[in-house]
Amino acid sequence: MQHAKTLSYFTDAVFVLLTLYLVLNYLRSIFAAPEPLILVMQQALFTAYLLIALILMAIRHGATEFSSRIRDYVYTLLGLGSPLLFQPAPRYRGEPVGVTLAFLGTILVLGAFLSLNRSFGLAPQNRGIKSTGLYRLVRHPMYLGYILAETGFVVDNLSIFNLFALAVSFLFLLLRLRAEERLLETDPIYRAYTKKIRWKLIPFLF
């Protein structure tokens, strides 16, 4: 148990440092140079998401169970870091489809954060089962938000490299999802929840 807690604390520390770096970077980008309004709005929304994540980490419930598998923490860290591989296009195009997906994805992530509230966590752990808000629709709405937001970015910044980075990000997201399901299914409350909410990620599909 102590080994698992240490891994969890290390993962949280990496996330906090990464989040602070991204917040400072986005704030500098917003105020340093003129950008298209839609891009500024995207960056402001993403900054709000990062700040909410930090607040939830500070007030969340303690975990009753941690994953003891090292690879689960590796999946989490690589999943958190893989979106940093994305490269912006030389010229921002503002494709309607990409912008819409990015906005919807970020809003969905924010909604999932607020639904999860004090049960928010990173690596597979049990901080209380949530079945309200967006968790009435699918079991992992936050991951669905990540998929939409990252896909939107790639649509708007299309390149072979970004498609590769998107595939890597999706891979670790699915590995994290499977690891979380494996741990949470030991909880009878979660097992009952899975019988009620059938879809893991995408309604009527998966």
Round to whole Å and give the CA distance between 120 and 56: 7
Domain that holds residue 161: 2-187
Confidence of residue 35 (pLDDT cuts 50, 70, 90): low
Q: Is residue 61 part of a domain?
A: yes
Q: Is residue 197 part of a domain?
A: no
The total of other beta-carbon atoms located within 10 Å of residue 90's CB is: 8
Helices 160-184 and 141-156 cross at an angle (nearest 10°) of 180
Q: Is residue 153 part of a domain?
A: yes
Residue 157 has pLDDT above 80, yes or no: yes
State the total domains in the chain. Answer: 1
pLDDT at 156: 86
User: Which residues touch 13 (CB under 8 Å, ≥6 apart)?
Assistant: none
Q: Is residue 144 part of a domain?
A: yes
User: Which residues touch 172 (CB under 8 Å, ≥6 apart)?
Assistant: 75, 78, 79, 82
User: Which residues touch 140 (CB under 8 Å, ≥6 apart)?
Assistant: 177, 180, 200, 201
Q: pLDDT tens digits, residue range 176-203?
A: 999 999 999 999 999 999 999 999 998 8
Q: Is residue 203 part of a domain?
A: no
CATH code for position 46: 1.20.120
R_g of the chain, CA atoms, integer Å = 17
Q: Is residue 204 part of a domain?
A: no
Q: Is residue 193 part of a domain?
A: no
Q: Is residue 206 part of a domain?
A: no
Round to whole Å and give the CA distance between 158 and 166: 11
Does the global pTM surpass 0.75?
yes
pLDDT at 94: 60
